[in-house]
Structure 1
């Protein structure tokens, strides 16, 4: 297996620094300290923001081919360090090794897309002579980088979700400061190590693990022009309230639903729903939490789901046969176990799973969950899925929309009219037909409505958020 060092630095204004080794990062399966990382204090964060301000003009003046060269370099280096990136993710996040390899592949895809998009910063010529008073006038607009950006990334996809902030920032020419999740900082640190090999202007990037208490500058400092946060809804909306005048992009939580209609291919739906519900122990904001099944196929599909769930292999994420690894912490596993117990005490039926050992929680299926239970209304963010029954398609759509969240929804149906009806009526950022809401390709617009956030990620769409339109009006006569 690849070698992990005992200590890792932070990156301040493009350079590695080791002021301390205060942040202990554990192997999420064994619970032992795997390595230590330097942690930034307020003074370090202040220096990073000052560096980003200083770098704003030279970053904006970089030619498109120069930005593309930086991103292409990252793609090559990620490919060369593929096994190291996958193994470090497996250790620090507890993500099964095959899934870790899949995330490294997505990291590479994301930077490759950004490299392609970096030379496509198009504008538009607009005629303005829409009335007599504007005769002889025309306009040209194009996009300019917004300036220094602040990024806060989560623990569950520490490579790819950091990439969805870093790569578009480089593509448009925005310097940035990033706070990776304290439980899983290594992926971002390795990205910093690779970026430090390039000719980016000094101050173009800083990657700074920091305690939540010491990281207010990431949110409140007025020198920063954009905050992009991915994480829990409670934290995200609180940060928005403190962020002042800067632009905000929030990628928050969900309790995603999938509808299984009576005409669905149940064998196909089974494999995709099992993946969507229990991939990386359900720790995904678009993980399948609610399975809404037509009454005509409910009993049959329930039996299929229970049998398949019971057969999932749980254990050491470093073993290739493992599908269910540990949750990120024992506290999170206990929190979700309490929700499961609360649901059962309220009348729910436990179909399988429901037991916990440390931060290992069995893949769990429930049915007949009370409509007020946390397990069905809040974001589970763990290996739990809830079965529900519906009679009419209108009823199923209404149940999806009952949630305060609105990230993505999935529908297994062969009915074209139902597909378009769902697309029009579901209050979500994306509808996925004949697959689970957990499906994402890294160039598509991705984000939610309601409590699930503001704005869209996906490289081109993030690039738009990280730029501002500047208009040029020309009087020709």
Structure 2
């Protein structure tokens, strides 16, 4: 919203039906800060309220954050008008053989389970060099089991409820599907309404929902790899390409991976969820296109023109 206003645009903000209050608070804060009346509107409702905007040629730009399926529909309706899409993801972080586990594992736990895993770049797949897999399984299982979950009003709670009970039920079903197909649960437990305990799985394969679809919940999967080529191939095999983290002390290895990974961002000795707002943020493939971050978003939302003069 702020980059769009900074670029000189009027803005219509359409929030998710699951979180309408947040958009109202943001709009009120901007109005209180001096944004002129009429430049910012908040539109509530389901997909039916978006259709008139997509049909109205006065709307010249659409920025969407959400699922890949909905993003495709918006892009099809927008036609030749410009869009910026931040869509789905299966985010990987890689622990190479020389990774410093004392630094990497706490970051991985934070990136996998903060906001109950409901972040596009939350670690879904933690690729671990086979020489480290046993120690990582043991240490991560203990760390994840120690996370406090439940009431978000408790300042000690790290994993709160998911956005709805229906979403928690969905993820619970995916976990059950994985276990039925041979996955092992190293940490986790029973769901309570919309609260799903932080879950750590291993022995994952692509036939499982958790192995091929975006989970968007407090679940992290461990996968061993033997060499860098295998790790690169595993990451590039998904239809998504938002961000990847790599933990290694060998910059040659890190940059080799960065050059070959088909993702929007690579974070060396950080997780896939590392982000500073000044960075250009966005993906490739089914994760969308265009870049966020103030400078880059302003450019996305600006129509460049050339004016030349001949004396």
- Report the TM-score when normalising by structure 1: 0.64
The answer to whether residue 216 in structure 2 is matched with residue 381 in structure 1 is yes
Per-residue Cα deviation, 1:226-251 (whole angstroms, up to 9, x for no partner)? 00000111111111111233211100
The higher radius of gyration belongs to 1
Q: How does 1:245-264 map to 2 (within 5 A)?
A: 245-264=80-99
Mapped contact 2:31–2:37 kept (Cα < 8 A): no
Give the Cα–Cα distance (whole angstroms) in 2 for the partners of residues 336 and 194 of structure 1: 34
Give the Cα–Cα distance (whole angstroms) in 1 for the partners of residues 35 and 161 of structure 2: 38
In the superposition, relative to structure 1, how do residues 198 and 296 fare at CA in structure 2: closer, same or farther (>3 Å)? closer
Deviation at 1:288, TM superposition (A): 0.2
Specify the alignment match of 1:438 in structure 2. 273
Mapped contact 2:137–2:186 kept (Cα < 8 A): no
Specify the alignment match of 1:455 in structure 2. 290
Specify the alignment match of 2:198 in structure 1. 363
Specify the alignment match of 2:173 in structure 1. 338
Specify the alignment match of 1:168 in structure 2. 3
Specify the alignment match of 2:16 in structure 1. 181
Give the Cα–Cα distance (whole angstroms) in 2 for the partners of residues 431 and 200 of structure 1: 36
Deviation at 1:176, TM superposition (A): 1.0
Deviation at 1:223, TM superposition (A): 1.1
In the superposition, relative to structure 1, how do residues 244 and 360 fare at CA in structure 2: closer, same or farther (>3 Å)? same
The answer to whether residue 207 in structure 2 is matched with residue 402 in structure 1 is no
Give the Cα–Cα distance (whole angstroms) in 1 for the partners of residues 35 and 138 of structure 2: 56
Deviation at 1:198, TM superposition (A): 5.5
What root-mean-square deviation, in Å, do the aligned CA atoms of Structure 1 and Structure 2 show?
A: 1.3
Give the Cα–Cα distance (whole angstroms) in 2 for the partners of residues 440 and 217 of structure 1: 34
Per-residue Cα deviation, 1:353-374 (whole angstroms, up to 9, x for no partner)? 1421211111111111122211
Q: Which runs of 5+ in 2 are unaligned?
A: none
Specify the alignment match of 1:217 in structure 2. 52
Specify the alignment match of 2:248 in structure 1. 413
- 3-state SS of paired residue (1:248): strand
- Report the TM-score when normalising by structure 2: 0.96
Size of the aligned set, in residue pairs, is 311
Q: 2:75 aligns with which of 237, 240, 248?
A: 240
Deviation at 1:261, TM superposition (A): 0.7
In the superposition, relative to structure 1, how do residues 323 and 200 fare at CA in structure 2: closer, same or farther (>3 Å)? closer
